[in-house]
Structure 1
Amino acid sequence: MSSTTASPAASTGQDGHIWSVDEHLEDILGAIRPLEPIELQLPDAQGCVLTEDVTVPVALPPFDNSSMDGYAVRTADVAGASEEFPAVLTVIGDVAAGSGELLTVGPGEAARIMTGAPLPPGAEAVVPVEWTDGGTGGGPAATMRAHSASPEDASGEVRVHRPVEARAHVRARGSDVQAGDLALEAGAIVGPPQIGLLAAIGRATVMVRPRPRVVVLSTGSELVQPGEELGPGQIYDSNSYALTAAARDAGAIAYRVGAVTDDAETLRATIEDQLIRADMVVTTGGVSVGAYDVVKEALSSVGDEDEPGSGIDFRKLAMQPGKPQGFGSIGPDHTPLLALPGNPVSSYVSFELFVRPAIRALMGLKDVHRPTARATLRADKPLGSPAGKRQFLRGTYDEESGTVTPVGGAGSHLVAALALADALITVPEETTSLEPGAEVVVVLLG
């Protein structure tokens, strides 16, 4: 690895201070508090984080039951059974799934049993129907007909062609979980398997932190919605679509607001209207030092003089892309607001580094960060990086070879390259050049 070093950025919080990436993220996460727990029905709890330990009230399965369609038997009655000398048993009836009163299997007897049905008293094992004549006195074809026959057809005798050991093809009571076991721990995300387990143990509701509601809006009079015709100097609004999708991917309930024109009063009114359904607001564009940086104009004076720390602080970060950033709170509930730059790559990288962890913190998750990995840089030439800034380059990561390959350039407008990337290559502040073969840290996006 070969690198050139430069002096790192300053680290004091004075006016004009250049914030580091870590300082900005620490400031955000220090201000975020997890949402209050609520009780939700199972279907509504998907994607939420449990705030309670869930214990098992009843064993799973709650009774011994058959794992096969076949015959419940006593093992002594089929000992030594073979194709040439089958064990002939009297079929005393059927045991279907959901059966209440059960037959008792005595010596020389068998009960036809369905998958999931309780093992009847006296029976010790289940013989699969394929190991019998199906109770029809016929061959394999008759066995297959019996396999799909209705319960009323069971009668007479059944010939068993193989022996079974005790408990064969029987799911034992409590073999999944025992009553009193810990089913799920607080902090677990409720996904489809967890919902299945909760339903299986009889839980209809759970205490969870709800999924955060995140409102995403972009600013700029030049923005046109996809599907409309572009006029002179106009571009399509891609940021609000990308960031709304990213918020959902992070676990939020996301609402996309159409692009707002470069008018401070319109933007302020739009944000205020959205606060009723927002646990967090994310804006993109209008945070730099230009004449039409509407977000700064609209929100710089927002705040509650009686509430220290309220309002939006606009700052410069020692990073590329994504130098201009804003963070604070707005409205009577002090809803967090993160203001991101408007260039597509800058806004998406900023979302991954700052907004996604904030969403995960609102959910109450312990680990809010994307996973990282060390990789070997695969490149045709050295990569430059500005002194004193942490650069994030787009790349494709190959886990098998442990390598990462840059895609596109450093430009913050290169949306096509961003769509190909599944990792961010981190170039530290003190590094100004990375040689091919250098070891780098990558943030895994997939």
Structure 2
Amino acid sequence: MGCCDTPGLMPIETAISKMLESITPISLVVDLALDQAVGHVLSEDIHSPINVPPFDNSAMDGYALRSSDLETATQLPLAGKSFAGIPFEGDWPQGTCIRIMTGAQIPEGCDLVIMQEQAQVIGDDIDFSQALPVKLNQNIRPTGDDIEQGALVLPKGHKLTSRDIPMIATLGIPSVSVFQQPKVAFFSTGDELKPLGTKLKAGEIYDSNRYGIKVMLEKFGCEAIDLGVIPDDKELLKQAFQQAQSQADVVITSGGVSVGEADYTKVILDELGEIGFWKIAMKPGKPFAFGKLLETEERHSALFCGLPGNPVSAVLTLYILVQPLLAKLAGHSQWQPQPSIPAISQTRFKKAPGRTDFQRGIFSITEQGTLEVSTTGNQSSGAFRSMSLANCFVVLEQDRGHVEVGETVHIQMFSPSFY
């Protein structure tokens, strides 16, 4: 029996596949002003309504010429100027040149631009002997050189980035059609969790999970609804689940899904929905719950994800397991997990076979171009300092044991949602 067949442990890939099979993407479409659209997913293709650039323009500050004029003379008088936004107008006599600036419209008949560094002003003439020989269309950006009219610029299902917004603006498009972002309500459970700014008593800790969950959800492109900390009280927990379900497409909790601590949570979820409590073959983050809070007369149905309570486990399961679910729900059809890249271990990594281990690491590149990685130290699921120091996950395979210095491991660099 292989490690992937370990009784009671569900492989990560199986868990993700099971969740994705049950997801129907949100179909509600909204129109947003372009400056409000970053992070949203396009609900339709964007085709360019214009050529970019819309006219032939100069790539350099210099002089616009007809190449035929250089066949009889290397010194030409100026006939005028062409600036960005103020093109040359009027007749352009043979045997003359036009002063032109970067981005300015190319005068009709021009078939090359000579940069000003290759030209010399001699009295009323411009000498181009240093620029010879020349090439046709040199330093000219043709119409549609960047984007042709009618071309597909961005496809449906693309999540808009800060790099996309100025590109769309160059097309003159003021607003875009996008899918409504998923609404995700979340809360922490536990009597020991206290809000920031309060003085801790014996046995109490600060609730950190909600802060990590909130910023990650927003970077995933979701509307995050923070319902706070819910104590271990059956009636209060049930009210919190019902409130979350009424407000959101997805309900996420941290804590209450491990063996021995899920009494109230499991009973309530059995009443409100169809939830599976899974043991995932990953470390940290073995306990995980997924299912659906069922529709009632008062509330629509909502997906449910139960994260472990330990800080590293909560963030890791949200990143690895829940992120692809939310991407599909948002209509982000181009979403892909970060690729695995081989690196040479510079430190020992402790591991027992049985679960895929996501250890926190720091990668660097040597002068020779070799990718190396070291541990951040304490890999406990409750030690978040190791996550804060890291810039990658060291992904140790399910059936792998300890890693010694010099061995090859695979790392996953953090995605933008983790920065």
TM-score, normalising length: structure 2: 0.81
Kindly indicate whether residue 206 of structure 2 is the aligned counterpart of residue 248 of structure 1. Answer: no
State the aligned residue count. 402
Label 1:217 to 1:79 Cα distance change in 2 as closer, same or farther (>3 A).
farther
CA distance in 2: counterparts of 1:118 and 1:47, whole angstroms = 35
1:31 is matched with 22
Residue 72 of structure 1 contacts residue 123 of structure 1 at CA under 8 Å; is this kept in 2? yes
- The C-alpha deviation readout for 1:19-46, integer Å capped at 9, x for no partner, is 3433322221211222226243322332
**Alpha carbons 2:81, 2:88 under 8 Å: kept:** no
The runs of 5 or more residues in structure 2 that have no matched partner are none
Cα gap change, 1:174/1:442 in structure 2, threshold over 3 Å: closer, same or farther?
closer
- 1:278 & 1:245 partners in 2: Cα distance? 17
Report the residue type matching 2:92 in the other structure.
V
Q: CA deviation at 1:354?
A: 0.8
Aligned partners of 2:87 and 2:107 also within 8 Å: no
Q: Give the CA RMSD over aligned residues.
A: 3.4
- Aligned residue for 2:243? 273
Partners of 1:384 and 1:99 in 2: CA distance: 68
1:177 to 1:260, Cα distance in 2 relative to 1, 3 A: same
How much does 1:284 deviate? 0.4
Separation in structure 2 between the aligned mates of residue 341 and residue 249 of structure 1, nearest angstrom = 21
Aligned with 1:329: secondary structure?
strand
Q: From 357, 377, 380, give the equivalent of 1:411.
A: 380
Shift of 1:108: 4.2
Aligned residue among 252, 263, 267 for 2:233: 263
Which protein has the larger Cα radius of gyration, Structure 1 or Structure 2?
Answer: 1
Compared with structure 1, are the counterparts of its residues 353 and 176 closer, same or farther at alpha carbon in structure 2 (3 Å cutoff)? closer
Question: Which of 55, 77, 82 lines up with 1:89 in the alignment?
Answer: 77
> How far apart in 2 are the matches of 1:409 and 1:32?
36
Match for 2:44 among 46, 49, 52? Answer: 52
Give the secondary-structure state (helix, strand or coil) at the position aligned to 1:189.
Answer: coil
Which of 56, 61, 64 in structure 1 is aligned with 2:53?
A: 61
Name the residue aligned to 1:155.
Answer: none
Are 1:326 and 2:314 counterparts? no
Residues 396 and 110 of structure 1: CA distance in aligned 2, closer, same or farther (over 3 Å): closer
Q: Answer whether contact 2:379 2:386 (CA < 8 A) is retained.
A: no
Q: Distance in 1 between matches of 2:336 and 2:143?
A: 39
Contact 2:249–2:301 (8 Å) recurs in 1: no
User: Could you say if the C-alpha distance between residues 106 and 408 of structure 1 is closer, same or farther in structure 2, counting changes exceeding 3 Å?
Assistant: same
The Cα offsets for residues 346-368 of structure 1, whole Å up to 9 and x where unpaired, read as: 21221222111212222333444
SS at match of 1:254: strand
Structure 2 counterpart of 1:420: 389
1:132 to partner: Cα distance:
6.2
Counterpart pick for 1:116 among 73, 87, 103 = 103
Question: Residues 238 and 115 of structure 1: is their aligned pair in 2 closer, same or farther, counting only changes over 3 Å?
Answer: same
- CA deviations over 1:112-146 (Å, ceiling 9, x no partner): 444323222344444555666779x5xxxxxxxxx
Question: What residue number does 1:149 align with?
Answer: none
Partners of 1:106 and 1:122 within 8 A in 2: no
The one-letter amino acid paired with 2:312 is: V
- The answer on 1:106 being equivalent to 2:93 is yes
Unaligned runs of 5+ residues in structure 1 are: 11-16, 138-157, 304-310
Q: 1:335 to 1:245 in 2, by over 3 A?
A: same
> Which residue does 2:161 correspond to in 1?
191
Residues 203 and 37 of structure 1: is their aligned pair in 2 closer, same or farther, counting only changes over 3 Å?
farther
For 2:397 and 2:110, locate their aligned partners in 1 and report how far apart those are by CA, in whole Å. Answer: 70
**Equivalent residue for 1:374?**
342
Query: Alignment partner of 1:327: what SS?
Result: strand
Structure 2 residue matching 1:300: 3-state secondary structure: helix
CA gap of 1:340–1:7, structure 2 versus 1, over 3 A, is closer
Please state how far the C-alpha of 1:342 moved relative to its aligned partner. Answer: 0.5
Aligned CA distance change for structure 1 residues 322 and 293 (closer, same or farther; 3 Å): farther
Query: Is the CA contact 1:90–1:108 (under 8 Å) kept in the aligned structure 2?
Result: no
Residue identity matched to 1:444: M
Contact 1:105/1:123 (CA < 8 Å) preserved in 2? Answer: no
Q: Is the 8 A contact 2:56 2:106 kept in 1?
A: yes
Residue in structure 2 matched with residue 344 of structure 1 by the alignment: 311
